[in-house]
A and B are shown apart, each in its own frame.
Chain A
């Protein structure tokens, strides 16, 4: 279950990194990127809720659950930053070269790295 959630989370964060990168390079507009980020926020929420609904059997599994849930919460926060940066770009006409945008990119990159590490540890669960 933890591996599945990590998979889902890693895929959602990877998509968000790509979408934000495309926006920064002016290769995609805000509707497509905004929709992508919204979809991925839903994916992360599903992954976290799915994990919360499952009951770990052992103490080791409980520890792993907590670790993965924390990583997913951090990913959701990073995605929140990205959506805020996008909203600022949309409403105020900000460029991608703002502190908010850079902070979102950094947070998403950190989250992607964390989830990739977890994925390597846990495998894909398939």
Chain B
């Protein structure tokens, strides 16, 4: 019974924790501009993140080593450092976007300008990382994030033309008001939002934090294979709400305040309250994960003592690096940089940097000497190699598409 509850909790946490500011913004932008015609990318991204998380979780459980320890070992210090630089930069952008997202959500609740909430949001993130136990932190944020299910409920309440939505989703085409380059730019962005590298840094480091062993692999696989696809459905619902309400009104999403309007339209103030709690939990949870991921990547690469299971005094550099990251994010946001714009860039750069972390994990997960009997099966290996090609294509296409389209303008 206890094990069953653990599995259920793990799945629910994975669902609630799947959506972050990148998913919220990118799905709403895509829904408002392309309807459901890009929703296939969410499916591609969800399968990709399931594969990636499964491999990195397995490597961590079998070897007791998290992603960046493996990357340094496999690539050596020089190539590993280049990898660290790129991954850390993307992660820092995501920390900034998530902290900005918390502040924007608080503005929607209180009317107080988001810039005033930013220091408080960053302080709260630090305080939770400093004081709250890993498991509690992960579960509370994930479970509250489930409030985002209200986007799915809202989609039903809006009583859309399901045939039309399904038609857009199943026969994807570039809308007449858009061009092909912009379509593919947002496809890459949506893919980057679903496969953000920090999710894997956090997942594999969390496996070490929680002391996973081989016997825990089944539960971890269930969490990933059930939780992430169901979390992906939340992304679809967000895009669907935007497609049904905002697209016909000629509204293109550029702010968080627009994303919640369809929910209010469908379900009134109660639904809006759920959406705001969900957004707050999703951004706060992701801010915790990205901040921790910043500390994890640096500490694992440089061989510092790390982990929330250690007291801050025993992992001082790990904790100090997270404080510095939060201060940098605070500094960037204090300049008035738009958190939504930062989010849009962060998901595209996530796609750019993805092969750097995916490839070493794929190599290790394929190494029988390292993994023993838990090496990639033939089926997983074929799928993982197909995804390597997709990830490479997205990575190589991202920057040219960004330049050609003026970042999707």
Instruction: Give residues in A with beta carbon < 8 Å to B.
Output: 4, 7-8, 10-11, 14-15, 17-19, 22, 26-32, 34-36, 39-40, 43, 116, 119, 124, 126
A119-B261 contact, Cβ under 8 Å, with A31-B110, A34-B111, A35-B107: no
B179 near A31: Cβ-Cβ < 8 Å? no
A32-B249 contact, Cβ under 8 Å, with A18-B265, A27-B269, A124-B177: no
C-alpha gap A63/B276 in the complex (Å)? 44
Q: Which residues of A contact B257 (CB under 8 A)?
A: 15, 19, 32, 35-36, 39
Taking CB as reference atom, which chain A residue is nearest B32?
A11
B108 near A7: Cβ-Cβ < 8 Å? no
Taking CB as reference atom, which chain A residue is nearest B104?
A35
C-alpha gap A35/B257 in the complex (Å)? 6
B254 near A43: Cβ-Cβ < 8 Å? yes
C-alpha gap A15/B249 in the complex (Å)? 8
B264 near A126: Cβ-Cβ < 8 Å? no
Verify if B255 is at the interface (C-beta below 8 Å from A).
yes
Known: A19-B257, A126-B178. 4 other contacts (CB 8 A): A15-B261, A18-B246, A28-B261, A32-B264
Verify if B182 is at the interface (C-beta below 8 Å from A).
yes
Q: Which residues of A contact B250 (CB under 8 A)?
A: 10-11, 14, 116, 119
Q: Which residues of A contact B375 (CB under 8 A)?
A: none
Q: Which residues of A contact B108 (CB under 8 A)?
A: 31-32, 35
B111 near A31: Cβ-Cβ < 8 Å? yes
C-alpha gap A47/B265 in the complex (Å)? 27
A126-B107 contact, Cβ under 8 Å, with A116-B250, A119-B250: no
B249 near A29: Cβ-Cβ < 8 Å? no
Instruction: Give residues in B with beta carbon < 8 Å to A.
Output: 107-111, 177-179, 182, 245-246, 249-252, 254-255, 257-258, 260-261, 264-265, 268-269, 272, 276, 409
A-B contact pairs, 30 of them (CB 8 A): A11-B252, A15-B246, A15-B249, A15-B251, A18-B251, A18-B261, A19-B257, A19-B261, A22-B265, A26-B269, A27-B265, A27-B268, A28-B261, A28-B269, A28-B272, A29-B272, A32-B260, A32-B272, A35-B111, A35-B257, A36-B258, A36-B261, A39-B258, A40-B255, A119-B250, A124-B177, A126-B177, A126-B178, A126-B179, A126-B182
Taking CB as reference atom, which chain A residue is nearest B409?
A4
A-B interface contact total, Cβ < 8 Å: 80
Q: Which residues of B contact A31 (CB under 8 A)?
A: 107-111
Shortest Cβ distance from residue A31 to the other chain B in the assembled complex, whole angstroms: 4
C-alpha gap A7/B408 in the complex (Å)? 13
Return the 3 tightest CB-CB contacts between A and B, nearest first: A36-B257, A28-B264, A39-B255
A29 near B261: Cβ-Cβ < 8 Å? no
Partner of A14, one of B249, B255, B268, B272: B249
C-alpha gap A119/B250 in the complex (Å)? 10
C-alpha gap A7/B250 in the complex (Å)? 8
Taking CB as reference atom, which chain B residue is nearest A42?
B255
- Among A35, A36, A43, max chain B CB count under 10 A is at A35
C-alpha gap A28/B252 in the complex (Å)? 20
Q: Which residues of B contact A4 (CB under 8 A)?
A: 409
A18-B245 contact, Cβ under 8 Å, with A11-B254, A43-B254: yes
Taking CB as reference atom, which chain A residue is nearest B255?
A39
Q: Which residues of A contact B409 (CB under 8 A)?
A: 4
Q: Which residues of A contact B178 (CB under 8 A)?
A: 124, 126
Q: Which residues of A contact B269 (CB under 8 A)?
A: 26-29
B258 near A15: Cβ-Cβ < 8 Å? yes
Q: Which residues of A contact B177 (CB under 8 A)?
A: 124, 126
C-alpha gap A40/B333 in the complex (Å)? 20
- Among B111, B178, B245, B246, max chain A CB count under 10 A is at B111
Q: Which residues of B contact A8 (CB under 8 A)?
A: 252
C-alpha gap A29/B178 in the complex (Å)? 34
Q: Which residues of A contact B251 (CB under 8 A)?
A: 11, 14-15, 18
B252 near A7: Cβ-Cβ < 8 Å? yes
Shortest Cβ distance from residue A25 to the other chain B in the assembled complex, whole angstroms: 8
Q: Which residues of B contact A32 (CB under 8 A)?
A: 108, 257, 260, 264, 272, 276
- Among A8, A10, A17, A126, max chain B CB count under 10 A is at A126
C-alpha gap A34/B110 in the complex (Å)? 10
